[in-house]
Structures are given as structure tokens and as C-alpha cells.
């Protein structure tokens, strides 16, 4: 009898000890954050911004949140969805991360969607803007810290139609799903406000020379709306100016086209270009002044959307981790906390998430100007509380097909 | 009428750029039978070198010359040290030049960073000029002139000089050329340097239009291939005609059938090759 | 035969040796690449036909099967068979067109046709999803056994890989294989001897396309995803590199080459930021020291070592 009691006691003690040990072990373990970015090839510069933005956040917090150390592990997806999948698996299984940030490209995100669901891995998408991720194809483990593709171009279209009173616009954009969504968002609001998109051009992503496209533009345009990534924007603007269109036709751009990451490499060709974005390095609030100063000191350029998206992901992470008292291992609670974040102040203003895990942001209308010797996106107007649905009713919006090349249908083409 | 005229101009300008890219490639390929997979990377490297020279405050034409010299030196080293060892081993050449391409690309990323860089054209060539109804950039006119000058110079070299005759002999039949006492190996080095210099200068000359970014190398390489294969390997006339044909197809194709932009370049080339495998000006395969 | 058995035994032990599903998955990826590379070896190594569009068949099978399952509701087996058939028919057509030329023109035609296919997959968004590709595919259950686990899928792939390698070895050793090598080395003589050079090459092209399609299907079900990248020039170039690196015209060369490139890309890249440069340097070193490729290079070194230990040099069996 006593032997049984002894055995039970030992068993209980053992179980108790190991449970305590594992809890203590878990508490002592760092929070591992996996960052999916791109280090090689044409997206190397935005990829670096992602890393810089997140590391700046972590540095500010001394790599500690809610008393737990934070460890950052980066992975290069090389803009190849198959590699993105492999790297995601590596981060989940080998590095045993607790949360993922990124990836950079929307196509990478769509490729790893099923892995995320299976592994039940919380992911904060800091730049992938694909609309349906927060609309019709919701993933319960997904939260976005940037914005959706069309969200911001809605504001640009409104400004163009109502403030600038433009009527005839042509669009030129990269032939990528992302840019197609951006253009669709612009077209949707612009035509609802009485304007007409008279021409839609999508150029291959590897276009060495934009002369053909620039010279195809219809006459008597009020403006051209452009959406490019990387070097394509400056190249287009150069051809635009070279063929004498600067000053004759206004240029409205998407956020990525004149993002701070490439803005500093551009020349005066770009001055006067209007764009919309959920951030500008020139946005004046105390957090941003501090953020930009630190970023400038640590890196060559000003922070742009990739850096701030990643920094915002850090802010989300912080709030959610604090809300669960550091227990990120409790995935359900952590995910719930992530979706409930409300950032009162940040370099980009207030951020909170809508019911679909997409941020409700301030949309800034910006103009490129040279200030203190550097090119900056000076803020002209702020649209507060812009959701991915603009002023449309969410259910009605979702009943339509997702933004694409074909939707909304272009009825006013000449 | 106006649309035709301006697209024709664009075609010719783009053709000029292609010729600068492809002429070096066809010489190297023709004489040494080496498909230089690093050709695009050399174009990019030339542009980067030019960028640094201009950043240092030197004028544009110095940048062009510097890029030419730098790439010629690199070409000489590569040819002597690496390519020499693998004559007639086509696979080895592909692997070696591919390896070089990777190294150059990654080293460039390391040294110049991942940002897209712009080179401004010389001040006196900036901006548009009015030619009747047409508004065209001055720089592209200059580019056409440069390409034309290069074409004439190369033609004179290859057709009118003894050196050129030796090169042509080497392209036609290296074995017999050697038997005739032509120092094919010295010639190879010279041609490789010349081809590299051309592409390096082409990189700087093209940069004000194309800009410089990681990935430029593999964006430009297929274009070089297409022009050279279409025109016929080893033939400068072929490179010239090929550039013009591709320039027009590329420009008008994107204007008329933008939806088929990816296909538009390859379809005509595939058709030409299926009908005439040696290209427009090439010699039928031995 | 002994080597085959040892190799198979080792391969079968891989999941137990490696343990973590991440590493097992890497091994699966190596096998898929090895099949792809071996298929290309038939064409480029034994046939001497360097194609720059081999990824077309890899991707076509994948896209075909994916579309049938996702958009037309086909069952997995039927979709896979039809996808493979699609790739093979494509190989018949492209082979017929491309083999009108040889050498560099052949290369360019395959490049062009491959690019056209790539362009279609990129642009025909309503069908192929454009640059986002096709996602949402589930792995089938084979005779009731789920293939979802890493080890399960590894064994499945290993089984198919063995069939592939043995089949290709049989092909190489057959008279057709010998004829193919003949057309590579001495096309005019072969023609003079009465061989239909074109037919031999075309059959090899289709055979190579078939196995590339098999690899493509395995890739599709491994990643449960396919995108335009699988049809790109980069993919075709990569398989060429694998074969040259490992040793064109050998049986194990492509496998070694595939292993190296897959591991550098996926594993080493975590430790070495400038892994493209590493790959480039590796290529150059291989070229300088073992220009025929790693496997033949090592084999000849070993032979030389063994020979130096014997009075008469051992007659090494031709390892083709």
C-alpha cells in the first residue's frame, strides 16, 4: 500500500516537475519571429527595407517584449513561390518560429497559404497586398499590417475626381496581379465619381524601354495613373519626360511607384508626381520624426512602405504579446489578440483592423517635392479611417468579383 | 500617321541599343563558338562602372570609355584564365560563363546595393526635340547615331582590314585558319576583349533609358540571343539586320498586340528558325 | 546492380536517418530535381541536344493536372495521367518543330517555344491564375494511405524515382540509346549507315519530355502549387546546370548535380547570404578541375588511384 502511494507520489512529483520545467522552459525561451523577405534579385532593395524596419523596431524594444527575449530569423524567398514554401517550412519546423512576418510578394503569400493553415502559424503580412486575402479567401491565421492593393488607390481616385476635377485618365501599370488590383481600385472609384478611364495599359514586368507605351498614350488626357514596382517607375517617368509629356499630362502614382525605397535614387523627373499611400516619410508626427531620423541614420534611404509595414508588424506583435502575457504558445489567444490590436500612435498614425484582418488606415495624398535637398512625399491631404472597402458597403463589395484586369469592366475605353 | 512615325523612331532607337548589346555577342560567338552566358552580366557591369565614374564627377563620355576599358580588361582575364581551358567543350563553356554571370551579378549587388540606379544623360542631350510633328528625345537620336557609328566602325574593321579578314577566316573555319598561320588564339583574345568592351560601353549608353538594377543581366541576355540567332551567328550584318527586325517587332508588337507581349518576340524568331535554322545571314550548320 | 541496391537501401533509410520533416522534404525535392535532371540528360547528355525549354514539359504536366483537378473536378489519377499525356503530346509537337534544326538553332527554338508557353501561363489569368499560379491542391491518398506526411510522400517519390532511373538506364543501355549516342557523336556517319537520325532524336526528345512531365507532377503534388516560374527560362537553365555540373552523359551525374543545386538553394542559402556567388564559384571550380562534371571527374580520379596501385591498369567499364 505504501509502495503504491510512494509510486503515485513519485509519479505526481515527476509530472509536476516536468510541467513546471516545460513551462519555465517555455517562458525562458525567446519568442522566435520568422521574417520572409527577398535578398537577391530585383526585389533586394524592398526586401532590405523590410528587414531594416523590423530590426529597428526590435532594437527600440531591446529585443524584449513582455519580458521575453525576441529572436529574429530571416529567410530569402528569392521571389520564387516554391522556395517561399520551402523556407516557410524551414522556419516553422526547423527554427520553430512562433509567428511569421512577411512575405514580400503576394504570389509568395498565396503559395504558402495552405502551409499556414496546416501549421496554424500566425502570420503578419507586412506588404503582400493581395485583396482576397482579407476579402473572399480569409485565412484565420492571417493578419495584414500594410494595406490591400486597392485600398489606397481609392483615395487617389477620389482626390483626382473631386479635388482636381480630372475627367480623362489613362492607366499604365506592371502586368502583375498586384498592379492590376491597384488600377482596378482606382478605376472603380474614379468612374463612380464621374470620371472616365479611356485607356488601360499593362506592360510586362521586364520592360527595358517604355518609349512604346509613353507614345501610345491617348491625346488630351488630364492625367495618367501609374503603378510600377522597382526600377520600372523611374524608367517610365524618364521616358515620359523625354517625350515631352511632363507638364502637359499630370502624373498620379500608386504607393509603390514613388516609395521612399526608390525615391532617393530618382532625379528631378519625379517632382510634382502625386500619389496616395498609408505612409509618408514626410508625415509630421512625433513618432514619425523619431522613426525617420533613426532609420536615416542606420540606412541609406528614408523608410518606405516595406519598412513601415514591417515596423507596424512589430507594433502589432508587441501589443498582442502583451495582451496574452507573453504566452505566444497559446495560438488561439495570440491570434485573437492580434486581430484586436489598436495602435493609437505610430509613425503612420492610428492603425486598427477591420473585421477581415485588414488595417483601417489614414490615406495620405502626397506630392513629390525636394525638401532639404532630398526628394520627399509631402502630405497634401489626409483621408482618415480608410478601410479596404472605401465607402462601399462590405457585403456588396464582396459580392462583386475580386479586383482584376477585367473587373471593374472598362466601359469607357477609346 | 503620327503614331506610325513615332513608333518607327522608337523602333530604330531600340534597334540601336540592341545592336550595341548584340554586336559583341555575335563576334564572340562566331569566332570562338562560345555562347557567353555572362554577356548580360557584362552589360550590367558596364553600366554600374559607368555609374560610379559619373558619381565621381567625371563626364558621360569618360564613363563610357571607362566601362569599355574595364570590361575589356575583365574579358582578357576571363578569356586567358578560364575559357582558354575549355576549347570545344561547349558544356563547360556554358557552365563557366554561367558561373561568371552569377558571380558578377552577386558581386554587383554586394558592391552597388539592391537599389535601382539612374545615370543622367549629358546635359546637352537631355529633353525632347521637335522634328515636324514629332516630339522625340534628343538622347535617343544620339543613341541611334552611336549605334550607327559603331556599326560602320565594326564593318570597316571586319570587312576592310587584314585583322578583319583574319577574324572572318577564323569564324568560317578555325582549323584551316590556323593551318594558314593565323594566330587564332591571339585573335580570340582580341575579339573577346572587343566584344566585352562593346557590351560594357553599351551598358553605359543604354543606362539613361534602361537604368541599372539587379536582374538587368538576365533581362537583357535573351534579347542578345534573339538578335544574334535571328541574324545568324558570327555575322555583323546579321546582328545589324536582326537588331532592326527585333526593334520593330518589339516596339510595334507592344503597341498593337500588348496582350501577346511575351510571345511577340519569340514567335517570329521561332518561325524564322524553323524555316531557316541558320538565321537570316548565317552559314548552314556544318 | 550492387550499386543500385546499396543506393536504394540508403535512400530508403533517409527518413529515419534525417528525422525532421523539413530535411525529409528537402530529400524529396532532391529526388524530384534528380528525375527532372535525368530526363534532361537523355536529351542533352546522350543526345547532345541542348534544349533551353525543357521546363515546358515539367510545367505543362503540372498545370494540366492542376487545372483538371481544380477547375474540372477530375480525380487525381485521371488528372495526373492526362497531365502527363498533355506534356508528352507537347513534347511530340515541340520536338518535331525544334528538330528541324540542330545546335544553337535547336536551342533557340526550344527557348522560344518554352517562352511562349511561359507567356501563356502568365497572361491567361482566368485559366492559370497568372503570376499567382494555382493553389489549393490536395495530395491524393494512395490505396487508402495518406501522402500528406513528409515521409509518406518521400517514399512515394522514391518509388517513382527508382522506376524513372531504372527505365532511363535501360534506355541508355538499349540499342536506341546507343543509336542516340551515335547521332550525338557522328550524325553524318549514322545517317550514312541508314539510321533515321531525326527519328532517333525525336523519340529521345519525347521520352525526355515524358519523364520531365513525371517530375512536374511530383513537384505539383509536393508543393500543392504550380506557377509560371516552373515554366521559366530560369528553370530550364537550372536543369541544364544540374546536368553539366554532375556530369552530362552519365547515369548518376544528373542526380549529384540536382542534389548540389537544390541543397545550395534551399539549405546553404540560410547560412550564406551571397549563395549565388557561391554557386558561381562552384561552377568555375568544377570547370577548372573536373570539366567533364563531378561524377566522371571523381570516377576518373578514383580509377587513376586504383590504377596506380596495380601493375596493369584495370579496365574500367565504360560508364555511360
C19 touches chain A (CB under 8 A): no
Cβ pair A149, A185 in contact under 8 A: yes
B77, B85, B90, B98: best to mutate for the C interface, most C CBs within 10 A: B98
Range of the domain at A138: 27-148+285-361
At A25 the pLDDT is 45
Determine which of A188-197, A287-296, B163-172 has the lowest per-residue pLDDT on average. B163-172
Break chain B down into helix, strand, coil percent, rounded to 5: 80, 5, 20
Nearest to A259 by CA among A225, A228, A283: A228
pLDDT tens for B221-274 read 888 888 888 888 778 888 899 999 999 988 888 888 777 766 777 877 778 777
Which helix (DSSP H) or strand (DSSP E) does residue A342 occupy?
strand A342-343
Is residue C48 situated within a structural domain? Answer: yes
Our count of domains for chain B comes to 1
Domain shared by A206 and A234, yes or no: yes
Cβ pair B29, B233 in contact under 8 A: yes
Between CA C116 and CA B266 the distance in angstroms is: 7
Q: Cell numbers at residue C307, please?
A: 590504377
- How many contacts, defined by CB atoms under 8 Å, are there between B and C? 125
- Closest approach of chain C CAs to the CA of A358, in angstroms? 20
Q: Does A17 score more than 50 pLDDT?
A: no
Between CA C22 and CA A94 the distance in angstroms is: 7
Q: Where are the alpha helices (DSSP H) in A131-252?
A: 149-158, 177-192, 211-214, 232-242
Q: Which residue has the higher pLDDT, C125 or B99?
A: B99
**Percentage of chain B exceeding pLDDT 70:** 97
Query: Which pLDDT band holds residue A20 (cuts at 50, 70, 90)?
Result: very low
Q: Which residues pair with A353 in a beta bridge?
A: A359
At B284 the pLDDT is 61
Domain shared by A261 and A155, yes or no: yes
C146 touches chain A (CB under 8 A): no
pLDDT tens for C1-35 read 677 777 788 888 877 777 788 888 889 999 999 99
Contact B278 C105 (CB under 8 A): yes
Our count of domains for chain C comes to 1
C25 touches chain A (CB under 8 A): yes
Between CA C138 and CA C145 the distance in angstroms is: 14
C130 touches chain A (CB under 8 A): yes
For residue A106, the domain's CATH number is: 3.40.50.2300
Please tell me which residue of chain A has the smallest CA distance to C21: A93
Between CA C26 and CA B81 the distance in angstroms is: 36
Is residue B248 situated within a structural domain? Answer: no
Domain shared by A247 and A390, yes or no: yes
A330 touches chain C (CB under 8 A): no
At B255 the pLDDT is 82
Is residue A277 situated within a structural domain? Answer: yes
- How many contacts, defined by CB atoms under 8 Å, are there between A and C? 70
B122, B211, B265: best to mutate for the A interface, most A CBs within 10 A: B211
Using an 8 Å CB-CB cutoff, list chain C residues near A114: 135-136, 224-225
Using an 8 Å CB-CB cutoff, list chain B residues near A299: none
Contact C133 A177 (CB under 8 A): no
Cβ pair B98, A245 in contact under 8 A: no
SS3 B240: helix
Contact B86 C291 (CB under 8 A): yes
Is residue A291 situated within a structural domain? Answer: yes
Query: Which pLDDT band holds residue A405 (cuts at 50, 70, 90)?
Result: confident
Phi and psi for A216 in degrees, rounded to 5? Answer: -90, -10
Our count of domains for chain A comes to 2
CB-closest option in C29, C125, C276 to A404? C125
Q: Does B183 score more than 80 pLDDT?
A: no
Phi and psi for A384 in degrees, rounded to 5? Answer: -80, 160
Between CA B285 and CA A240 the distance in angstroms is: 45
pLDDT tens for A228-283 read 988 888 889 999 988 889 889 999 999 999 998 888 888 888 899 999 999 999 98
Is residue A107 situated within a structural domain? Answer: yes
pLDDT tens for A51-65 read 999 999 999 999 999
Bridge-based pairing of strands A274-277 and A359-371 is antiparallel
Is residue A62 situated within a structural domain? Answer: yes
At C136 the pLDDT is 81
Q: Which residue has the higher pLDDT, C12 or A337?
A: A337
**Chains touching chain B at 3 or more Cβ pairs under 8 angstroms?**
A, C
pLDDT tens for B106-154 read 899 889 988 888 888 888 888 888 887 788 899 999 999 999 999 999 9
**What is the average pLDDT value for chain A, to the nearest integer?**
88
Q: Does A363 score more than 70 pLDDT?
A: yes
At C129 the pLDDT is 82
Is residue A112 situated within a structural domain? Answer: yes
Cβ pair A128, A104 in contact under 8 A: yes
At A24 the pLDDT is 45
**What is the average pLDDT value for chain B, to the nearest integer?**
86
Please tell me which residue of chain C has the smallest CA distance to A106: C132
At A193 the pLDDT is 93
pLDDT tens for A21-39 read 444 444 568 999 999 998 8
Query: Which pLDDT band holds residue A319 (cuts at 50, 70, 90)?
Result: very high
Q: Which residue has the higher pLDDT, C94 or C293?
A: C94
pLDDT tens for C279-311 read 888 888 887 788 788 888 888 888 888 888 765
Q: Does A18 score more than 60 pLDDT?
A: no
Q: Does A93 score more than 70 pLDDT?
A: yes
Is residue B285 situated within a structural domain? Answer: no
pLDDT tens for A75-87 read 988 888 888 988 9
Is residue C310 situated within a structural domain? Answer: no
Q: Does A214 score more than 80 pLDDT?
A: yes
Between CA C27 and CA C222 the distance in angstroms is: 12
Q: Report pTM.
A: 0.86
Q: Which residues of A touch B (CB under 8 A)?
A: 40-45, 47-48, 175, 201-204, 206, 208-209, 211-213, 215-216, 230-231, 234-235, 238-239, 241-244, 261-262, 264-267, 300-301
Q: Does A5 score more than 90 pLDDT?
A: no
- If you average pLDDT over residues C150-166, what whole number do you get? 91
Range of the domain at B107: 22-214
Q: Kindly provide the residue ranges of all beta strands, DSSP E only, lying in B93-196, ordered along the sequence.
A: 128-131, 134-137
A105, A111, A203: best to mutate for the C interface, most C CBs within 10 A: A111
Domain shared by A248 and A311, yes or no: no
Domain shared by A210 and A246, yes or no: yes
Between CA C237 and CA C229 the distance in angstroms is: 12
Between CA B45 and CA B56 the distance in angstroms is: 17
Between CA B15 and CA B252 the distance in angstroms is: 12
Cβ pair A116, A91 in contact under 8 A: no
At A1 the pLDDT is 47
Contact C136 A106 (CB under 8 A): no
Cβ pair C52, C244 in contact under 8 A: no
Angle at C190 between CA C184 and CA C194, to 5 degrees: 145
At A6 the pLDDT is 55
Domain shared by A216 and A104, yes or no: no
At B262 the pLDDT is 67
- Closest approach of chain A CAs to the CA of B205, in angstroms? 13
Asked casually if ipTM beats, i.e. exceeds, 0.95, the reply is no
Q: Cell numbers at residue C64, please?
A: 494540366
C43, C114, C119, C274: best to mutate for the B interface, most B CBs within 10 A: C119
pLDDT tens for B33-87 read 777 889 999 999 999 999 999 999 999 999 999 999 999 999 999 888 877 777 7
pLDDT tens for C191-216 read 888 888 899 999 999 999 999 999 99
Range of the domain at C186: 2-231
Is residue A404 situated within a structural domain? Answer: no
Q: Does C102 score more than 50 pLDDT?
A: yes
Amino acid at each position: 500500500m505504501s509502495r503504491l502511494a510512494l509510486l503515485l507520489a513519485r509519479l505526481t512529483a515527476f509530472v509536476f516537475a516536468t510541467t513546471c520545467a516545460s513551462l519555465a522552459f517555455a517562458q525562458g525561451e525567446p519568442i522566435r519571429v520568422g521574417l520572409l523577405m527577398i535578398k537577391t534579385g530585383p526585389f533586394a532593395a524592398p526586401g532590405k527595407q523590410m528587414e531594416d524596419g523590423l530590426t529597428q523596431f526590435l532594437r527600440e524594444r531591446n529585443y524584449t517584449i513582455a519580458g521575453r527575449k525576441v529572436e529574429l530569423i530571416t529567410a530569402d524567398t528569392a521571389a520564387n513561390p516554391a522556395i517561399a514554401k520551402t523556407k516557410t517550412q524551414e522556419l516553422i519546423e526547423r527554427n520553430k518560429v512562433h509567428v511569421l512576418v512577411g512575405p514580400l510578394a503576394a504570389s509568395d503569400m498565396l503559395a504558402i497559404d495552405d502551409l499556414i493553415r496546416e501549421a496554424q502559424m500566425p502570420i503578419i503580412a507586412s506588404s503582400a497586398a493581395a485583396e482576397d486575402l482579407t476579402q473572399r479567401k480569409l485565412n484565420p491565421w492571417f493578419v495584414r499590417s500594410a494595406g490591400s492593393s486597392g485600398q489606397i488607390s481609392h483615395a487617389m481616385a477620389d482626390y483626382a475626381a473631386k479635388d482636381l476635377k480630372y475627367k480623362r485618365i489613362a492607366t499604365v501599370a506592371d502586368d502583375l496581379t498586384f498592379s492590376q488590383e491597384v488600377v482596378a481600385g482606382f478605376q472603380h472609384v474614379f468612374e463612380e465619381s464621374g470620371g472616365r478611364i479611356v485607356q488601360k495599359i499593362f506592360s510586362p514586368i521586364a520592360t527595358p524601354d517604355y518609349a512604346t507605351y509613353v507614345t501610345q498614350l491617348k491625346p488630351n488626357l488630364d492625367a495618367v495613373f501609374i503603378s510600377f514596382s522597382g526600377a520600372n517607375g523611374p524608367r517610365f517617368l524618364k521616358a515620359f519626360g523625354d517625350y515631352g509629356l511632363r507638364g502637359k499630362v499630370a502624373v498620379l502614382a500608386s504607393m509603390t511607384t514613388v516609395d521612399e525605397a526608390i525615391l532617393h535614387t530618382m532625379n528631378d523627373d519625379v517632382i510634382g508626381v502625386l500619389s496616395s499611400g498609408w505612409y509618408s516619410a514626410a508625415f509630421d508626427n512625433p513618432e514619425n520624426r523619431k522613426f525617420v531620423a533613426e532609420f536615416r541614420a542606420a540606412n541609406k534611404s528614408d523608410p518606405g512602405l516595406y519598412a513601415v509595414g514591417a515596423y507596424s508588424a512589430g507594433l502589432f506583435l508587441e501589443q498582442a504579446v502583451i495582451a496574452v502575457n507573453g504566452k505566444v504558445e497559446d495560438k488561439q489567444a495570440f491570434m485573437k489578440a492580434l486581430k484586436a490590436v489598436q495602435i493609437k500612435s505610430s509613425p503612420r498614425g492610428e492603425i486598427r483592423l477591420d473585421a477581415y484582418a485588414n488595417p483601417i488606415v489614414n490615406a495620405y495624398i502626397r506630392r513629390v517635392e525636394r525638401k532639404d535637398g532630398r526628394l520627399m512625399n509631402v502630405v497634401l491631404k489626409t483621408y482618415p479611417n480608410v478601410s479596404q472597402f472605401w465607402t462601399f458597403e462590405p457585403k456588396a463589395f464582396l459580392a462583386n468579383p475580386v479586383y482584376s484586369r477585367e473587373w471593374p469592366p472598362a466601359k469607357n475605353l477609346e | 500617321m503620327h503614331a506610325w512615325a513615332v513608333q518607327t523612331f522608337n523602333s530604330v532607337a531600340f534597334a540601336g541599343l540592341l545592336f550595341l548589346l548584340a554586336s559583341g555577342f555575335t563576334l564572340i560567338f562566331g569566332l570562338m563558338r562560345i555562347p557567353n552566358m555572362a554577356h548580360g552580366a557584362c552589360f550590367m557591369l558596364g553600366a554600374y562602372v559607368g555609374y560610379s565614374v559619373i558619381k565621381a564627377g567625371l563626364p558621360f563620355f569618360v564613363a563610357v570609355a571607362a566601362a569599355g576599358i574595364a570590361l575589356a580588361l575583365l574579358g582578357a582575364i576571363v578569356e586567358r584564365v578560364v575559357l582558354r581551358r575549355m576549347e570545344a567543350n561547349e558544356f563547360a563553356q556554358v557552365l563557366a560563363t554561367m558561373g561568371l554571370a552569377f558571380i558578377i551579378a552577386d558581386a554587383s549587388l554586394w558592391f552597388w546595393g539592391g537599389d535601382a540606379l539612374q545615370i543622367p544623360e549629358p546635359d546637352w542631350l537631355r529633353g525632347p526635340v521637335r522634328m515636324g510633328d514629332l516630339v522625340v528625345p534628343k538622347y535617343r537620336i544620339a543613341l541611334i547615331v552611336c549605334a550607327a557609328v559603331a556599326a560602320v566602325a565594326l564593318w570597316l574593321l571586319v570587312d576592310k582590314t587584314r585583322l578583319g579578314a583574319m577574324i572572318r577566316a577564323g569564324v568560317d573555319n578555325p582549323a584551316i585558319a590556323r593551318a594558314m598561320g593565323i594566330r587564332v588564339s591571339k585573335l580570340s583574345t582580341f575579339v573577346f576583349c572587343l566584344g566585352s568592351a562593346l557590351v560594357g560601353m553599351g551598358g553605359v549608353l543604354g543606362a539613361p533609358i534602361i537604368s541599372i538594377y539587379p536582374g538587368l543581366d538576365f533581362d537583357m541576355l535573351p534579347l542578345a540571343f534573339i538578335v544574334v540567332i535571328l541574324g545568324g551567328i558570327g555575322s555583323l550584318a546579321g546582328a545589324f539586320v536582326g537588331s532592326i527586325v527585333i526593334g520593330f517587332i518589339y516596339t510595334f508588337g507592344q503597341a498593337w498586340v500588348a496582350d501577346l507581349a511575351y510571345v511577340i518576340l519569340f514567335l517570329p524568331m521561332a518561325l524564322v528558325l524553323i524555316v531557316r535554322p541558320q538565321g537570316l545571314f548565317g552559314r548552314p550548320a556544318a | 546492380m550492387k550499386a543500385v541496391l546499396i543506393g536504394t537501401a540508403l535512400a530508403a533509410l533517409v527518413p529515419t536517418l534525417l528525422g525532421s520533416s523539413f530535411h525529409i522534404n528537402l530529400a524529396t525535392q532532391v529526388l524530384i530535381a534528380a528525375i527532372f535532371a535525368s530526363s534532361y540528360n537523355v536529351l542533352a547528355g546522350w543526345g547532345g541536344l541542348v534544349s533551353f525549354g525543357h521546363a515546358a514539359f515539367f510545367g505543362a504536366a503540372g498545370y494540366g493536372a492542376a487545372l483538371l483537378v481544380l477547375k474540372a473536378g477530375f480525380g487525381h489519377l485521371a488528372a495526373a495521367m492526362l497531365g502527363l499525356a498533355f506534356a508528352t503530346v507537347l513534347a511530340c509537337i515541340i520536338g518535331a518543330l525544334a528538330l528541324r534544326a540542330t545546335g544553337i538553332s535547336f536551342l533557340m527554338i526550344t527557348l522560344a517555344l518554352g517562352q511562349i508557353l511561359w507567356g501563356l501561363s502568365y497572361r491567361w489569368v482566368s485559366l492559370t491564375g497568372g503570376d499567382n499560379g494555382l493553389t489549393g491542391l490536395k495530395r491524393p491518398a494512395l490505396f487508402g494511405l495518406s501522402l500528406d506526411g513528409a515521409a509518406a510522400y518521400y517514399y512515394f517519390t522514391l518509388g517513382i524515382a527508382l522506376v524513372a532511373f531504372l527505365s532511363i538506364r535501360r534506355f541508355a543501355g538499349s540499342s536506341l540509346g546507343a543509336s542516340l549516342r551515335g547521332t550525338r557523336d557522328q550524325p553524318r556517319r549514322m545517317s550514312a549507315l541508314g539510321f533515321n537520325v531525326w527519328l532517333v532524336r525525336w523519340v529521345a526528345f519525347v521520352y525526355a519530355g515524358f519523364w520531365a512531365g513525371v517530375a512536374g507532377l511530383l513537384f505539383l503534388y509536393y508543393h500543392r502549387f504550380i506557377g509560371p516560374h516552373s515554366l521559366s527560362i530560369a528553370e530550364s537553365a537550372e536543369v541544364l546546370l544540374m546536368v553539366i555540373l554532375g556530369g552530362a552523359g552519365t547515369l548518376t551525374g544528373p542526380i549529384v548535380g540536382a542534389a548540389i543545386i537544390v541543397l545550395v538553394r534551399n539549405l546553404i542559402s540560410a547560412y550564406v547570404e551571397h549563395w549565388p556567388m557561391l554557386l558561381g564559384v562552384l561552377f568555375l571550380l568544377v570547370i577548372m578541375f573536373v570539366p567533364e562534371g563531378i561524377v566522371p571527374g571523381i570516377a576518373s580520379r578514383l580509377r587513376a588511384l586504383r590504377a596506380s596501385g596495380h601493375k596493369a591498369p584495370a579496365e574500367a567499364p565504360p560508364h555511360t
